[in-house]
A = this chain, B = another copy of it.
Amino acid sequence: MYQDYIDHMRSIADVKFALAVLQWDQETYLPIKGAAFRGQQMATLSEISHKMFTDEKLGVLLDQLNNDSSLDKKQLRNVELTSEDYNKHKKYSSRFVRKLSEATSRSYHAWIDARKQNDFNVFERDLNALVDLKKEETQILGYTQHPYDALLNEFEKGATVQWLDGLFGDLREPLKKLLDKIQAKPAPDDSFLHQHFNKDAQWKFGIEMLKRMGFDFEAGRQDISEHPFTTNFSAEDVRVTTRIDENDFTSMTWSCLHEGGHALYEQGLPAEQYGLPLGEYCSLGIHESQSRLWENCVGRSREFIRYNFPLMLQYFPQLKNTEAQQVYAAINKVQPSLIRTESDELTYHFHVMIRYEVEKQLIDGALAVKDIPGFWNEKYKTYLGVDVPDDKSGCLQDIHWSHGSFGYFPTYSLGSLYAAQFFKHMQKHYPDITALIGEGDYTKIHKWLQMNVYQYGRMYTSDGLCNKITGETLQQSYLIQYLTDKYAGIYGF
């Protein structure tokens, strides 16, 4: 009977991963005129997978398996998680799913138009309708304290407004103080990063970086897309994408390390659990911890730069009058700015906190959609001290809301927080980790992540996993300490 469950789940996975292939192709290779039929093809696969997942037969099977005493711990956990997912899916009427899908599609196009016209008003009406549906969704899903909790749960099970208010509250002041200290010092020179860097050289260097970090090119590949992303069609086919800015090779490089971190996680998940919860990632926050760990804790470390500098010089001879130390300082330059995706490790979290505030208040009704730009601009002034000149560099910069993804942004900061806490613990376990990074040896990092994160899939919640690994729940102190140490060294305070 457990085998029937596996078979059913694997068929669903086959359809979902086929859909993922179509999406990947859409972002990488789809010719422009192919978009309309492709949209239709993806909608059909999505409908089929939804039907398969809400099939009564699966419900009956799950009921039986929930009372099956012959199952082992992993099997039970799979059944438990699928039952949760099944019951959640069942809450949605097909009428609501269709309405949401249509509203999302309209919102997305309105967002594109609004960006073109650099005018939030163009987006407002459709976003408003979408926010109303998301509010309705909080009722469908249910919550005990705050309606936004229901949406947070979609991305990070167990996350609540109460918890995040505390976490972000405790993070904000220390980060502000650190920023003040940094801004009192002269900024490192990073002008040499803004030369012309040949596309082809960048591409090859990116591939080399992925190889060096352990990405398995026999179980994945890299391609070019407008926005970098990682997707997977099994643990043995994980694909990352990157983009190349010919005036800045760092954008491509650290995007490779970021997506590479996501990809190592997906390649490390247990392939034999294909289609089952234990073959899936723990949560978005944990997924992001993997990308941030590689991008920042490893990739923006002094040792990493030192080791990889000779290769950099090989591909980018225009850096020949630069020292590794200067590159290290330059890529860690702190500078409050308007655009989240271009921000440094420190100010990044203010960008997230602002979006968190907007979403929370949109969903509980304290903020109206029409008031987003004003609220946004005011927060950017307060948190980052920057003036937002227009909507495009302001509240229209991210795609997330147009997709109906409310509750997603906080997982970005959670990722950094988990990464810092995990990395600290890894350093305790292997005191030579930092030295090994200086030798380009990531064997112990791979081993630690495999042992502590990858192998478990969704066995534990993110909170449970964090406790299991580090002996405590998520603490803001690790990230603060990590950033303080780094910037004290660079800025000298």
Contact = CB atoms under 8 A, between A and B. Distances in A.
A10 to B, nearest CB: 7
A216 B11 contact: no
Given A31-B219, A31-B237, A41 B25 contact: no
B218 A37 contact: no
A168 interface: no
A36 B17 CA distance: 13
A142 to B, nearest CB: 33
Contacts of A15: 44-45, 48
Contacts of A246: none
Nearest to A232: B34
A14 to B, nearest CB: 4
Interface in A1-47: 10-11, 14-15, 17-19, 21-22, 25, 29-34, 36-38, 40-41, 43-45
A14 B38 CA distance: 8
A307 interface: no
Given A10-B40, A45-B18, A48-B15, A216 B33 contact: yes
Contacts of A53: none
Contact of A21 (B25, B36, B219): B25
Output the residue of A11, A17, A41, A223 with the most chain B CB within 10 A.
A41
A188 interface: no
A32 to B, nearest CB: 5
B41 A17 contact: yes
Nearest to A267: B33
A1 B247 CA distance: 58
Given A221-B31, A237-B37, A18 B22 contact: yes
A274 interface: yes
Nearest to A45: B18
B33 A14 contact: no
Contact of A25 (B25, B36, B274): B25
A94 to B, nearest CB: 15
* Residues of A in contact with B, size category: 35 or more
Contacts of A45: 14-15, 18
Contacts of A219: 31-34
Contacts of A441: none
B37 A233 contact: yes
Contact of A29 (B34, B44, B221): B221
A271 B34 CA distance: 11
Contact of A37 (B37, B41, B216, B274): B274
Interface string A185-225: 00000000000000000000000000000001111110100
Nearest to A29: B221
Given A233-B34, A237-B30, A18 B18 contact: yes
A26 to B, nearest CB: 10
Given A18-B45, A37-B274, A41-B233, 18 more contacts: A10-B44, A14-B41, A14-B43, A15-B48, A18-B41, A21-B25, A30-B237, A31-B218, A31-B220, A32-B218, A32-B219, A33-B218, A34-B219, A34-B220, A34-B233, A37-B237, A38-B233, A38-B237
27 contacts: A10-B40, A11-B44, A14-B41, A15-B45, A17-B37, A18-B19, A18-B22, A18-B41, A21-B21, A21-B22, A29-B223, A30-B237, A31-B219, A31-B220, A31-B221, A31-B237, A32-B219, A34-B220, A34-B233, A34-B234, A34-B236, A34-B237, A37-B233, A37-B234, A37-B274, A38-B233, A38-B237
List the 7 closest A-B pairs by CB distance, nearest first.
A34-B237, A14-B44, A37-B234, A33-B236, A33-B219, A14-B41, A32-B218
